């Protein structure tokens, strides 16, 4: 049994539900895509699609937990480490939190320590397949130790900040941190 891997209030699913606010972006011209690293950095950086695809990749295996109570075990991913991306930029010493910025102004916040955890990464493939448009193509964040809403699909920017600030769902009552093992679903949990 895998109950020790399923946080309280969660149920296992075999499928891969699609959940988001707004429209799925369909890209035609990847030369227009970039990932911006900005905020409290020595110099802002824009990583092109071509450059991002040349960064070293690793395999990751994890379990994911959505706040709407589904969990999915044993996901295999291919992705770029946070260390490889941070190698492109110099952070100022006062950075404590990051805001992940996705297409259409969607965002989510997390502490720097959780962003740079060895288990967090920039996902490109899931279970052997390129991410589908619905699941975040071309690049989504994956932060498996927090509820899955912190794993921004269609990532376009990482903002480095000196204090915490609520992102899109957090403004609407979702928890600022979102630890599934403590059931931090909403800000009153
Ligand atoms: N850009 C963006 N990323 C997002 C969301 C969103 O609305 N927009 N929803 C989040 C939520 S609530 C969940 S549960 C997961 C769902 O990812 P999936 O559709 O690949 O299962 O994406 C997260 N990332
Ligand atoms: Mo979610």
Mean pLDDT of the chain: 97
Q: Please enumerate in sequence order all residues whose Cβ is within 8 A of that of 93, keeping only pairs 6 or more positions apart, or say none.
A: none
In total, the chain counts a number of residues equal to 189
Closest atom, ligand 1, to C-alpha of 154:
1
The C-alpha atoms of residue 41 and residue 140 are separated, in whole angstroms, by: 22
Ligand nearest to the CA of 68: 2
Structure confidence at residue 83 (pLDDT): 98
| CB 27 near ligand 1, within 6 Å | no
The C-alpha atoms of residue 56 and residue 182 are separated, in whole angstroms, by: 34
Residue 1 confidence (pLDDT) above 60: no
Q: What is the mean pLDDT of residues 125-146?
A: 98
Query: 132 alpha carbon to ligand 1 midpoint, in Å?
Result: 13
Report every protein residue that has its C-beta within 5 angstroms of ion ligand 2. Answer: 19, 66-67, 149
Structure tokens at 33: 């895509």
Residue 188 confidence (pLDDT) above 90: no
Ligand nearest to the CA of 72: 1
The C-alpha atoms of residue 147 and residue 168 are separated, in whole angstroms, by: 14
Q: Which 3 state secondary structure label does DSSP give 86?
A: helix
Query: 18 alpha carbon to ligand 2 midpoint, in Å?
Result: 9
pLDDT in tens, 49-87: 999 999 999 999 999 999 999 999 999 999 999 999 999
Share of the chain above pLDDT 90, in %: 97
Closest atom, ligand 1, to C-alpha of 21:
7
| CB 71 near ligand 1, within 6 Å | no
Give the residue, by CA position, lying nearest to ligand 1 atom 21.
18
Ligand nearest to the CA of 134: 1
Closest atom, ligand 1, to C-alpha of 126:
20
Structure confidence at residue 187 (pLDDT): 87
Residue 162 confidence (pLDDT) above 80: yes
C-alpha pair distances (Å), 15 with each of 7, 10, 123, 127, 188: 18, 15, 18, 12, 30
Structure confidence at residue 2 (pLDDT): 57
- Put simply, whether the predicted model's pTM sits higher than 0.85 gets the answer yes
Residue 138 confidence (pLDDT) above 60: yes
pLDDT in tens, 85-102: 999 999 999 999 999 999
pLDDT in tens, 7-42: 999 999 999 999 999 999 999 999 999 999 999 999
The C-alpha R_g of the chain, in whole angstroms, comes to 16
């Amino acid at each position: 049994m895998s109950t020790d891997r399923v946080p309280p209030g969660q149920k296992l699913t075999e499928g891969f539900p699609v959940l988001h606010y707004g429209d799925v972006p369909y890209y035609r011209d990847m030369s227009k895509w970039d990932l911006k690293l900005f905020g409290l950095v020595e110099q802002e950086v824009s990583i092109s699609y071509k450059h991002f695809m040349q960064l070293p990749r690793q395999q990751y295996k994890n379990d994911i937990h959505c706040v709407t109570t589904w969990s999915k075990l044993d996901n295999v991913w291919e992705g770029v480490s946070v260390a490889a991306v941070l190698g492109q930029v110099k952070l100022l010493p006062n950075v404590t939190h990051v805001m992940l910025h996705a297409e259409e102004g969607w965002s989510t916040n997390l502490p720097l320590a959780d962003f740079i955890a060895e288990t967090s990464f920039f996902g490109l493939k899931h279970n052997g397949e390129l991410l589908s448009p619905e699941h975040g193509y071309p690049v989504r964040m994956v932060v498996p130790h927090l509820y899955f809403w912190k794993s921004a699909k269609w990532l376009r920017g990482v903002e480095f900040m000196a204090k915490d600030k609520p992102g899109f769902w957090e403004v609407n009552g979702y928890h600022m941190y979102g630890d599934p093992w403590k059931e931090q679903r909403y800000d009153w949990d």
